């Protein structure tokens, strides 16, 4: 499950809440493309902004629609009590794994983060992926803390931002040195995905793969066939996206791309979040055209 | 209302939710001490971790208990929709003002933050205090943005972290230069409170004032009487707290202090938050003893 390409579809909204038809369409697209794992309710799926009721609905729809492809559900929330409730909902929906970031308002200490994972993992019957996202959670894991958390029961993978090509081998070696051998390592910043897999990461946790699964599977397959230069060349073709992600955040950019392809109705962002500016939307359209992507 | 000493009481919890008796006791203590404004459900009151139902209850209890002292209610939340609902609840509870920080998961842009305040202020019938807290919200206001937001209808005050003694006059001058003349300026980092008032800030938004109102009112009165050196000397007596705040966060430290005084039942923190270590709790007790504080 924690291998190859793991993708994070958007959550389409409509006036009544979740746009079920468009969400299941996004899930079907990536399942049919043959991704290894579908991550519903990741940051890209706007989990943090949704009610428990809507998150339960999305989890059920994702599992129903994904067929044989395993589904991982994001269960992050500000309080441990909410996280435990969401973990139960995800497992009841049939999730194969859960994804947990240390969401914060007050900046968390290492002991608080460890305690969160300790409290949650002991209640799980499916594997948990530790989700490190310093930008949204204000928390950076030390390698030592990664090791302590990953040694807890039911931890299956670590999703970490990753590192540029020249630093990826050392980053992965440092993690392998601290993590139990059966815990998978994956990079999550898309621009580092191909290089991370090439340097030996188990999985690429991909935002863009939720929208462009074929293009991303071509990268994972090139790595699997030992052709890392080809994987890097395919990744380089998406460089306009990496630049847009740095400037506007990957979620906002992928939302604009999905809107351009007619897969979500813009703005598809919970206020106060807003669409990227018109000029940036034109860049997104040009980047899709250059890849010859169609919905 | 936005003058002198504004204080932020803790929200005491019990097994059933809000510990109403202990909360009203905390509010009575500061109201009787004669503070100028009571801020319920600030960061110190753990607003971000509470349900809408509990926040409504706390707002009603605060207004009922505060008597003639005006009450400001924190209405921050991740989505604009939630903020608008909380604003309505606060006004229905009889709040004299609301306090809004740009709470985020995805880091917000200037335009998103401006849009949030634009959407909320036009629905208000009481003044709003703009709450800048870069540590919890991952957002720092430029002075230009402060000026744009403060020019919106119903903005009454800006709560900003403040600046050390030697920089406070310039900081206040820069804000006065960009804000409308009728918008009050207040510092919120307690160690900068006395110096801020001495340099001409309108109000000190104080965490420690929610627990030690008499000690803080002595500072605001010294400034009002023109004796800034005395205000600074009184603030310096609390320096052990300023040091503890920097190391553990003011909310965790004040929670430990309130527990030491028997005003809340420890840990009184929503998990994953945890009590400060035992050695730090001893420092808190020593700091209270040095001030000769009793419950």
> For chain B, what percent of residues have pLDDT higher than 90?
98
In tens, the pLDDT along A133-180 reads: 999 999 999 999 999 999 999 999 999 999 999 999 999 999 999 999
pLDDT of residue B90: 98
Distance from CA of residue A231 to its chain's centroid?
A: 20
Closest Cβ opposite residue A107 in set B49, B108, B249: B249
Mutate to test the interface with A, among B110, B271, B272, B276 (most CBs of A within 10 A): B272
Using alpha carbons, select from B45, B39, B57 the residue that is nearest to residue B96. Answer: B39
> What residues of A are in contact with residue B102 (Cβ under 8 Å)?
272
Residue A295 pLDDT level (bands cut at 50, 70, 90): low
Q: E strands, chain A, where? A: 4-7, 13-14, 17-18, 37-40, 71-74, 97-100, 128-131, 155-160, 184-187, 203-206
Angstrom distance (rounded) from CA A210 to CA A231: 18
As to burial, measured by CB atoms within 10 angstroms (0-12 exposed, 13-18 middle, 19+ buried), residue A71 is: buried
Are A274 and B115 a contacting pair at CB < 8 A? yes
Look at residue A83 in the predicted model and tell me its pLDDT: 98
Q: What is the pLDDT of residue B174?
A: 97
Q: What is the pLDDT of residues A97-131, one digit of tens each?
A: 999 999 999 999 999 999 999 999 999 999 999 99
pLDDT surpassing 80 at residue B58: yes
pLDDT value of position A293 = 85
CB-based contact A115 B43, cutoff 8 Å:
no
Residues A80/B272, Cβ–Cβ less than 8 Å: yes
Q: Which of A105, A111, A249 sits opposite B106 (nearest CB)?
A: A249
Q: How many CB atoms lie within 10 A of CB B226?
A: 10
Taken in order of first residue, the domains within chain A and their CATH numbers are 4-228 (3.20.20.70)
Q: Name the residue facing B112 among A49, A108, A273 (closest C-beta).
A: A273
* pLDDT band of A16, cuts 50, 70, 90: confident
Size of interface A-B (CB pairs under 8 A): 89
ipTM of the complex: 0.96
Which DSSP category does B14 fall into? E
Q: What is the mean pLDDT of chain B?
A: 97
Helices B143-150, B168-178: inter-axial angle, 10-degree rounding? 50
**pLDDT higher than 70, residue B295:** no
Nearest chain B residue (CA) to A111: B274
pLDDT at residue A209 tops 70: yes
List pLDDT tens digits, range B5-18: 999 999 999 988 99
Between chains, do A271 and B49 touch, taking CB under 8 Å as contact? Answer: no
Beta bridge partners of A14: A17
DSSP string, A40-98: ETSGGGTGGGS-HHHHHHHHHHHHHHHTTS-EEEE---SSHHHHHHHHHHHHHHT-SEE
What is the rounded average pLDDT for all residues in chain A?
97
Query: Which chain A residues have a beta carbon less than 8 Å from that of B103?
Result: 105
The pLDDT of residue B117: 98
Q: Which of A99, A96, A16, A17 is nearest to A52 (CA)?
A: A17
**Which residue of chain B is at minimal alpha-carbon distance from A113?**
B272
pLDDT reported for residue B293: 85
Cα distances from A293 to residues A213, A252, A264, A287, B136, in angstroms, run 11, 18, 16, 9, 39
How many whole angstroms separate alpha carbon A175 and alpha carbon B168?
45
């Amino acid at each position: 499950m924690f291998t190859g390409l793991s993708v994070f579809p958007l959550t389409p909204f409509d006036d009544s809440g979740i746009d079920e038809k468009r969400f299941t369409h996004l899930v079907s697209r990536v399942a049919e493309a043959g991704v290894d794992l579908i991550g519903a309710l990741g940051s890209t799926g706007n989990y943090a902004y949704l009610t428990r009721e809507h998150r339960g609905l999305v989890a059920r729809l994702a599992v129903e629609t994904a067929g044989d492809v395993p589904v991982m559900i994001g269960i992050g929330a500000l309080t441990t009590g909410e996280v435990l409730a969401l973990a139960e909902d995800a497992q009841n929906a049939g999730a194969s794994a859960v994804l947990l970031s240390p969401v914060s308002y007050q900046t968390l200490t290492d002991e608080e983060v460890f305690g969160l994972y300790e409290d949650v993992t002991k209640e799980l019957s499916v594997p948990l992926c530790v989700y490190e996202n310093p930008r949204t959670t204000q928390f950076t894991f030390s390698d030592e803390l990664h090791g302590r958390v990953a040694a807890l029961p039911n931890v299956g993978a670590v999703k970490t931002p990753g590192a540029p090509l020249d630093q990826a081998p050392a980053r992965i070696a440092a993690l392998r040195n601290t993590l139990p051998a059966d815990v998978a390592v994956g990079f999550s910043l898309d621009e580092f995905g191909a290089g991370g897999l090439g340097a030996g990461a188990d999985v690429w946790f991909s935002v863009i793969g939720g929208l462009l699964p074929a293009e991303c599977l071509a990268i994972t397959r090139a790595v699997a066939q030992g052709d890392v230069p080809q994987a890097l060349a395919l990744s380089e073709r998406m460089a306009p996206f990496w630049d847009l992600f740095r400037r506007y955040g990957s979620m906002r950019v992928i939302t604009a791309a999905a809107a351009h392809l007619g897969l979500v109705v813009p703005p598809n962002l919970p206020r106060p979040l807003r669409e990227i500016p018109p000029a940036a939307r034109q860049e997104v359209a040009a980047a899709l055209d250059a890849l010859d992507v169609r919905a």
